[in-house]
Amino acid sequence: AKITKMADVAEILIIDTAGYDSTEFRTALKVADIVIVPIDPLAQVEADSLQTVTKIVRDAQKINPRLAAHVLLYKCQPNTFSEQQELRDSLNSHDYWLKPMKSTVSFLRAFVRAMNQGMGVHELKSNVSGASQAKAQIELLLKELEL
**Domain spans, the chain:** 2-105, 108-147
Instruction: Yes or no: say if 90 and 57 are a contact pair by the CB < 8 Å rule.
Output: no
Q: What is the pLDDT of residues 30-45, one digit of tens each?
A: 999 999 999 999 999 9
**Can you name the residues that pair with 37 across neighbouring β-strands?**
71
| 103-to-8, 56, 116, 142 alpha-carbon distances in Å | 29, 23, 23, 9
Radius of gyration of the chain (CA): 16
Strand locations in 9-94, DSSP E?
A: 34-39, 68-76
Q: Would you say residue 115 has pLDDT above 80?
A: yes
What pTM does this model have?
Answer: 0.90
